[in-house]
Structure 1
Amino acid sequence: MRRLNLVGGGHVGGVLGRLFAQAGAFAVQDVLTRSPASARRAVEFIGAGRAVARADELRPAGVLMLAVGDDQIAPACAALAAAVPLRGVVLFHCSGALASDQLAAARAAGALAASVHPIRSFADPAAVAASFAGTFCGVEGDAGALAVLEPALLAIGARPVRIEAAAKTVYHAAAVFASNYLVTVLDAALRAYQAAGIPEAVARELARPLATESMENVFRLGAAAALSGPIARGDLATVARQQRAVAAWDEPTGRLYQDLVAPTEALARRKKSG
């Protein structure tokens, strides 16, 4: 069994470390964090491994997980390359926004580099560890690294999905569109209902079936087939009238409405051509 050293003892590193150890995917060996106390807490959560205080205390291991903040990935990698031999080691980080090119110092030292991004919220690490099966993980990097990491991810119930390294930031933005910006658009809908005199609680109930059915249709049929409404029907006079009315009520929301017209028209053209 390959040995795993962990640098960074936060929620993501702790959960993956625990799962790898429990599944026998890797043998967790040494854990290095910002302080001996946090390293000990990480080891306790993982249920395996030894807390160390410095990079040069890390014992040789075939796999090294870098579970630190995005702004610390490159500096931590450089520090590791200066402190321990990395030739032939599989080294990966867990950022969703950054690609394995952040591990250039490790590659220069002979390591195989990759990134593994679990698509989950890690606010409650124990709960995530208990329900991790089925979690998608975006992966990219050197073929030799992925040949080691993908079987380990499958062993803990993950569903690895390969992504293009050059599009890693766009990949991460997809989650923002699917989550954060979706909330922003729904907020505009709720405020527009309230502008028509509908109480906020009732507005949520009015929007719920429209939003829920639309999302279900997207996931069942695809976005183009799920599109409905005035743009899908080609009723651009209604669209223009709505945009003017929304802008008169609230100028920023009117700009948001206008900004969504062109991409929705493109989606409507895809629906007609499909």
Structure 2
Amino acid sequence: MIAALNTLVDVVEANLHDDIDVASVARQVGSTEYHLRRMFASLAGMSLSDYIRRRRMTLAAAELVAGGRMLDVAVAHGYGSTEAFARAFHQVHGVSPAHVRDHGGPLRSQSVIRFRLTVEGTTTMHTRIVDHPALRLVGHSTRVPLIHEGPNPHIQEFIASLPASEHERLKSLSAAEPGGLLQVSDSVDPDYVEGTELTYLHGVAVPADARVADDLDVIEVPAGAWAVFRASGAYPAALQSTWAATASEWFPSNPWRLRPGPSLVAVLDRADDFSTATTELWLPVEPA
């Protein structure tokens, strides 16, 4: 995985003035675009698209300082107008292209990223692989922004809006593994950009042929393998730390990769105030 990510960085660097076919790079390194983008975002701390934009604007700034015409620089970096180029430039550098051209800065340069695997063994990964038949995830869903660290207040507000009787009703419908009430994240941005919207479903798993009431939302999940990671400790910090470690430690050293599909969190045990919990994180995977 580390070699694949570095190959991707090399391709980006060689094609900063052109469209970059990430799917083609993924096939070249024996991966998928979905997995490559997710691993890049998890390990780099930024999305691939954001990294490409920062690298392009780093080169664009150097060209402006060297005396390049704004329109020429904009066109060279794939922008059809100086207005669109100026907006992208300002997002990266915090100042206008004209200011940089006239004053030489300030600039926020993005260096070329290099990925390295550091073997530390700091996180013990309690993991199992489950081959699971097709299932349906049923419950109540909403659209919420992606938040990487700390509780998501939008999810908390949504769950609190459901009456207690509805929680009990959903629990009674649980009829497939993982059991009990589940926290389901679906339709997540491939680049995993914080603030982008995802579908959150508060519900349970049932067999694929189960009948579902009309007032419940449904996510159809095909048969496939799942990597299941157990986390215990402060909630949600322990769960989020385990999630991060799947990218930094588990996937780089195991012959599996992410496949498209929802991620599931099952709460196995928790304190009354939810300050601590034991959870299982279910991620859809396929052989790498």
What TM-score do the two structures reach when normalised by structure 2?
Answer: 0.21
Q: Which has the higher contact order (CA 8 A, sep 6+)?
A: 2
Which has a greater percent of strand? 2
